[in-house]
Amino acid sequence: MEYGVAPESPSAANEWLEKNKGKFNLYFDGKWQTPLSKKYFDTINPANKKTLAKIAEANATDVDKAVKAAKKALPKWVKLGAHGRARYLYAIARQIQKHSRLFAVLESMDNGKPIRESRDIDIPLVARHFYHHAGWAQLRDTELKDYKEIGVIAQIIPWNFPLLMLAWKIAPALAMGNTVVLKPAEFTSLTALLFAELCDEIGLPAGVVNIITGDGKTGAAMVNHPSVDKIAFTGSTDVGRIIRRATAGTGKKISLELGGKSPFIVFEDADLDSVVEGVVDAIWFNQGQVCCAGSRLLVQESIAERLYAKIRNRMEKLRVGDSLDKSIDIGAIVAPVQLQVIEKLVQQGVDEGGNMWQPSWSCPVEGYFYPPTLFTDVTPAATIAQVEIFGPVLVAMTFRTHPEAIRLANNTRYGLAASIWTENINLALDVAPKIKAGTVWINCTNVFDAASGFGGYRESGFGREGGKEGLYEYVKLRSEESHTAKKTALKKNAASESSSSDLPAIDRTTKLYVGGKQVRPDSGYSLTIKNGAGKSIATVGLGNRKDIRNAVEAAHAAESWTSMSGHARAQVLYYIAENLYIREDEFIKRLMQFGLSKTDASKEVSMSIERIYTYAAYADKYDGSVHHTLSRNVTLAMPEPLGVLGIVCPEEAPLLAFVSSVIPAIAMGNRVVVVPSETAPLSATDLYQIFETSDLPGGVVNIVTGVRDELSAVLANHDDVDGLWYFGTLEGSKLIENAAAENMKRTWVNFGKQRDWSENHAGEHEFFLRNATQIKNIWIPYGE
Ligand code: NAI
Ligand code: MG
């Protein structure tokens, strides 16, 4: 049967372009403004290569003006309050629905994506996102009362889902009381400009939303602007790295949604016809230009040939063509440069021995089209099995056993999403927690909703968008403002000689604590520790790079801690508290050696015991939620530990700060490598014996004493460290954030500001647990 064309009319979109005379300026401070650069660039329709409009190119001065407008608008927007902001977000949602067809047609023309997708998926999700966040705006003061807005947010988005990415960025930012400057991608600015018009129409106060256009240079000016408080970015991992490095040590918050190479795992008992439709949605939706595309097909060997045959059969029937034709399945690739990337990688796949298959028909020639492509016989190390292609190219590999499937799935630098296909629920739910990815779809794929968080593990970036978990990217703890750059270093000259008389003498050298054993430092050197009066009282091991590596290895080996139940972990923590209580006097005396009065030392020890109780309590209570998503799924939002976490303790509060950071981290199932206070490490090394007598499995807590910034640099550069908390200097913070860009490890640094560890909120808060975990959303079919 031949299909006829079923074109969607471009006339309303063309009228809108004509009304604007085919030329668009920048939108900031509530007005359309001509760019100071006087430069404009073309945006094309990739399905016919025709120019649609001229778009202003903002330079650094334009960016500065837009940021200033956002900053000026901030106080009033904050003062407007939760309900006022909710009203505006609701109005935006309504307005998008009213203009939904215009948005859909314009999106398809500018991006090349099929009208069926922009009409039925992108734009409805955009409206849904604003409605959902109108609700969060309303509830902010009750649901997030310890938190406040961050300030001016710079948002930089890609071209694959232009308006949807705008919604994902702007809705939560405004809902939490921030103002924004957003830059769409240079290939697809039009719907963002229509959105700016709509903000004007509903009377959104000037400066709350500012839309500026331009390419990477404009983006870089936004990133580097000193008045920007946070950057939210979606795009390539390379640019994500640039942003991580550019903002290191500045105190700017960032969230990064980067690339992926997501596995689509098919077990032999899967329903293969559903699988084939799943594959179509996974890799041919939006021409495969989807960050979470199921681009690696992992098939159980026994069914591989049968599945490939079915897929090829289906591919033969897919239709590629004009984005406004309602009967096409695959539209145009966004731009010639992207088409070249795809062609080059496919050629490389062939050169490296992959078996490439494409349908017998050929693509139309008027636009930038690429046919659906399947590679089989690909080795896991091949370029096309590792690198994100961002096009309609599926790369298939086989596995024999379930463990092999998991290994293959995790054999990637990325961790954005995964899709698991099997009729066996036990198998699906056994595999889901073992895959390192932010979203796991069971017997479905590429399902999204505003109520669910979305975001990556590893080099897919960090932060979540959507769901309650996404809101935390746009708020900060109110107590953060009380942290000060002033140093309250350990008191000098206050220690009395007598207070140390019954403690071990100088000849005792404390070793390192690695894998549950006290070990000598690799260097063979030690560090002399002085008391508050400046007298040498002990020596500790001088740890080095090798010791950190051994500690990281030991932490990795202690994986069973992570699979223990929260209850079982809590028992160990209570036991630690109990043993600390029994030896309270000894710990008090130790603190007194470093200048604390007896009262203060007693207080620090008893608070430490109390903190351990708090996090033991949380161990089985800090749990996830089931999101109310639109589709027939239960969407489980599960907090998972980061894995192996480095913790660099501050100088002050040598016992309390150690306990306040290490205990929440391990309560959540992380294994840690800790660098204790450099000048007063003895409270930490005294804990060895407590850990040994409290059934804490070896390798869960590893302690390496030595020069703090030297050791933390090793942790920051270590690829097998998943996260790093650092409470030290501003320079140290910068170094850590910079180094972390390499493997995109999660960092939490203090920019040289001290918190008062004895103050609850600063020293004890759910926030510690949030930083020790990341949310995985698991979508499971449910109900009718
Ligand atoms: P890109 O990362 O260069 O562009 C994304 C956005 O960042 C655009 O708005 C761009 O103008 C801006 N940008 C570029 N350089 C910047 C800089 N130095 N500082 C600040 N902003 C900057 O992505 P591109 O070049 O369009 O696509 C290249 C590859 O990136 C694709 O082939 C794909 O693999 C990946 N990608 C991933 C996306 C995702 O959703 N995770 C989306 C788009 C691309
Ligand atoms: Mg375009």
- Of the candidates 274, 268, 342, the one whose C-alpha atom is nearest the C-alpha of residue 298 is 268
Range 435-442 average pLDDT: 98
pLDDT at 503: 56
Ligand 1 near 186 CB (within 6 A): yes
Atom of ligand 1 nearest to the CA of 214: 11
| The pLDDT of residue 496 is above 80 | no
Burial 452-465 (b: 16+ CB within 10 A, else e): bbbbbbbbbbbbbb
Surface-to-core class of residue 599, CB atoms within 10 Å of its CB (0-12 exposed, 13-18 middle, 19+ buried): exposed
Å from CA of 190 to ligand 2 middle:
8
Q: Determine which residue's CA is closest to atom 16 belonging to ligand 1.
A: 216
pLDDT at 506: 55
Q: Determine which residue's CA is closest to atom 43 belonging to ligand 1.
A: 235
pLDDT at 504: 52
Range 416-432 average pLDDT: 97
Taking the CA of 257 as reference, the closest ligand is 1
- Distance CA(329)–CA(325), nearest Å, equals 9
Give, as one character, the DSSP assignment of residue 270.
Answer: S
Ligand 1 near 390 CB (within 6 A): yes
From 111, 239, 261, the mutation candidate for ligand 1 (largest count of ligand atoms within 8 A of CB) is 239
Ligand 1 near 200 CB (within 6 A): no
| The pLDDT of residue 502 is above 70 | no
pLDDT at 484: 83
| The pLDDT of residue 3 is above 80 | no
User: Predicted confidence band at 2 (pLDDT cuts at 50, 70, 90)?
Assistant: low
Any idea how long the chain is?
Answer: 784
Ligand 1 near 246 CB (within 6 A): no
Q: Determine which residue's CA is closest to atom 32 belonging to ligand 1.
A: 390
CA angle 414, 415, 421 (to 5 degrees): 120
Ligand 1 near 469 CB (within 6 A): no
From 236, 334, 340, 446, the mutation candidate for ligand 1 (largest count of ligand atoms within 8 A of CB) is 236
User: Predicted confidence band at 499 (pLDDT cuts at 50, 70, 90)?
Assistant: very low
pLDDT at 667: 98
Ligand 1 near 509 CB (within 6 A): no
- Residue pair 615/772 in contact (Cβ under 8 Å)? The answer is no
Q: Which helix (H) or strand (E) element contains residue 656?
A: helix 656-667
- Distance CA(703)–CA(547), nearest Å, equals 10
Ligand 1 near 259 CB (within 6 A): yes
3-state secondary structure of 701: strand
Contacts of 120 (CB under 8 A, 6+ apart): none
Range 605-624 average pLDDT: 98
Q: Determine which residue's CA is closest to atom 9 belonging to ligand 1.
A: 185
pLDDT at 761: 86
Beta bridge partners of 529: 538
Tens digits of per-residue pLDDT, 707-727? 999 999 999 999 999 999 999
Ligand 1 near 185 CB (within 6 A): yes
Burial 64-81 (b: 16+ CB within 10 A, else e): bbbbbbbbebbeebeebe
What whole-number percentage of the chain has pLDDT above 90? 94
Ligand 1 near 291 CB (within 6 A): yes
pLDDT at 6: 84
What whole-number percentage of the chain has pLDDT above 70? 97
Tens digits of per-residue pLDDT, 557-597? 999 999 999 999 999 999 999 999 999 999 999 999 999 99
Beta bridge partners of 484: 754
Taking the CA of 388 as reference, the closest ligand is 1
Which residues are part of the catalytic machinery?
Answer: 257, 291
Q: Which long-range contacts does 450-453 make (Cβ < 8 Å, 24+ apart)?
A: 450/125, 450/128, 450/129, 450/131, 450/132, 450/133, 450/171, 451/132, 451/627, 451/628, 451/629, 451/630, 451/635, 452/627, 452/629, 452/635, 452/637, 452/777, 452/779, 453/627, 453/637, 453/775, 453/777
Atom of ligand 1 nearest to the CA of 183: 9
- Residue pair 267/234 in contact (Cβ under 8 Å)? The answer is no
Å from CA of 334 to ligand 2 middle:
7
Ligand 1 near 44 CB (within 6 A): no
Q: Determine which residue's CA is closest to atom 14 belonging to ligand 1.
A: 216
Atom of ligand 1 nearest to the CA of 223: 20
pLDDT at 5: 76
Ligand 1 near 215 CB (within 6 A): yes
Amino acid at 762: A
pLDDT at 554: 98
Q: Are β-strands 263-266 and 296-300 bridged in parallel, bridged antiparallel, or unpaired?
A: parallel
Mean pLDDT for the chain overall: 95
Tens digits of per-residue pLDDT, 64-109? 999 999 999 999 999 999 999 999 999 999 999 999 999 999 999 9
Helices (H), 225-360: 237-247, 272-279, 301-317, 336-351
Tens digits of per-residue pLDDT, 295-331? 999 999 999 999 999 999 999 999 999 999 999 999 9
pLDDT at 311: 98
Ligand 1 near 235 CB (within 6 A): yes
User: Predicted confidence band at 500 (pLDDT cuts at 50, 70, 90)?
Assistant: very low
Q: Determine which residue's CA is closest to atom 21 belonging to ligand 1.
A: 219
Tens digits of per-residue pLDDT, 639-694? 999 999 999 999 999 999 999 999 999 999 999 999 999 999 999 999 999 999 99
Q: Determine which residue's CA is closest to atom 12 belonging to ligand 1.
A: 216
- What would the DSSP string read from start to end of 399-421? ESSHHHHHHHHT-SS--SEEEEE
Å from CA of 283 to ligand 2 middle:
21
pLDDT at 497: 43
Q: Determine which residue's CA is closest to atom 30 belonging to ligand 1.
A: 236
Å from CA of 34 to ligand 2 middle:
21
Tell me which residue has tokens 């040289």: 752
Range 339-356 average pLDDT: 98
pLDDT at 507: 56
User: Predicted confidence band at 492 (pLDDT cuts at 50, 70, 90)?
Assistant: very low
Range 319-346 average pLDDT: 98
pLDDT at 494: 44
User: Predicted confidence band at 12 (pLDDT cuts at 50, 70, 90)?
Assistant: very high
Range 132-150 average pLDDT: 97
Å from CA of 466 to ligand 1 middle:
21
Tell me which residue has tokens 């703090």: 708
Tens digits of per-residue pLDDT, 174-198? 999 999 999 999 999 999 999 999 9
- Distance CA(545)–CA(539), nearest Å, equals 19
